Amino acid sequence: MKLLLQTALFFSCWATFVSAQEPLFIVRDRVGTIKEGSIQRMPATNSLEMQSAEGKSFTLANPVYIARKNSVIPKVPLARTLWLLNDDCIKFENLLMKDDSFEVESLDFVSGSKTLVPLLDTKMIWLKNPLGILDPVSYRNKILGEIRAKDFVVLNNAERVEGVLESFGAKTVVLDTGTSKPEYKTDSISLVGLSSDDNSKKEQTIEVVSLVLDSGARITLAEFNLSMGILEGKTMQGVKVRIPLSKIQHAVILGKSVVRIQELKNIKLRQVPFFETPMEAKAVKATKNSDFLISGSSYTNGFSTMGSTSITFPLDGKYQKLCGFFGFDDMEGRQGRADIKILADGKVIASWVGRTWKDGLGSLNLPLAGTKELSLVVEASLGSKINWCECLFFLAD
């Protein structure tokens, strides 16, 4: 009897210990409900099985945002990063070119696993910042946006040499320039760009989940299964990955019914920077590979408003909900102050008065059923750079 009691006590303590080791997440669903606990399983994108800190199991329907508790979203890594066609990036420890693929070893993936990424699905290998480049993020984004016929290497001194990449190894890189095949030491190279074409007309795979990992890597999956602490899935290019749940810092659940704000057409923008005349534009400049900093976290899907701004989004009654985050930029928004209004067909549905950087991260969870036109109106002072991140429109049923 005593032995049975001791055994039961041991397993009870062990279960408590295991539960304590599981990462805790804060999850927000489509209607704005927020739940906290460990993630047990995700059998479908519209259902998440969780366990509370007290050990109680529950299911959350239609999860949208998943964030690790007591942590901030890390910035995009600026070293040893493989950039994919859709501007996702993988932080690697080792990378070798094997035939028509790169063999990648990453601490973000299941230990001991090697992932093969086809060269055709790769835009760039970023090893480190070239000397003399004062704004590496802008430089990186410029290269990611290029359409080019040839591969190239950028040496540490920022010299660019074009050709065809023949090999990429741990110690050397070979580039066929057409007249010669120079061999470079890998540590003498800052980055390698791969030839690319215009992919805008190609059939697009539906994004299902967008992930931010411990290293700051960004990976979007077209399909996945989460069970037993491991997320298995395929990237937008069909590359198979296995990621421990403990490596995930942030996730956004997408799917067929979700439209990112930057995907809308015919957006009208009117912006009044300080001491300048109003500017008219046809679209919001939304990006996917920049750091939008709010309260210490780095978001990469979004856009920014500077000064007083008015933006009109034509919805034509297609959407039932808008979710997202906003806040003053950690670098360029600390001194600003703004009054913000969101209007649906001219009627105010949300407003914030005298908002500043100290207010931190704000959330959007707005019903839009039947709305034909949505307007964002910002009346702001100098230093009012506001970031609008992971803003999602949900299609009406």
Q: 346-396: per-residue pLDDT in tens?
A: 999 999 999 999 999 999 999 999 999 999 999 999 889 999 999 999 998
Name the pLDDT band for 204 (thresholds 50, 70, 90).
Answer: low
Q: 132-172: per-residue pLDDT in tens?
A: 999 998 899 899 989 889 999 999 999 999 999 999 999 99
**Token reading at 378:** 């910002």
Name the pLDDT band for 45 (thresholds 50, 70, 90).
Answer: confident
Given a cut of 70, whether residue 3 has pLDDT beyond it is no
Name the pLDDT band for 60 (thresholds 50, 70, 90).
Answer: very high
Q: What is the CATH architecture of 258-395?
A: Sandwich (2.60)
**Average pLDDT, rounded, for the chain:** 88
- CA separation for the pair 375, 368 (Å, rounded): 12
> What is residue 180's DSSP assignment?
-
319 within 8 A of 370, measured Cβ to Cβ: no
Given a cut of 50, whether residue 96 has pLDDT beyond it is yes
Given a cut of 60, whether residue 276 has pLDDT beyond it is no
Residue 277: per-residue pLDDT: 44
Residue 284: per-residue pLDDT: 58
Name the pLDDT band for 201 (thresholds 50, 70, 90).
Answer: very low
Residues of the chain with CATH 2.60.120.1060: 258-395
The pTM assigned to this predicted structure is: 0.88
Residue 22: per-residue pLDDT: 84
Q: What is the biggest distance separating any 2 CA atoms in the chain, rounded to whole angstroms? A: 85
Given a cut of 70, whether residue 273 has pLDDT beyond it is no
325 within 8 A of 72, measured Cβ to Cβ: no
Residue 272 burial (CB count, 10 A): 17
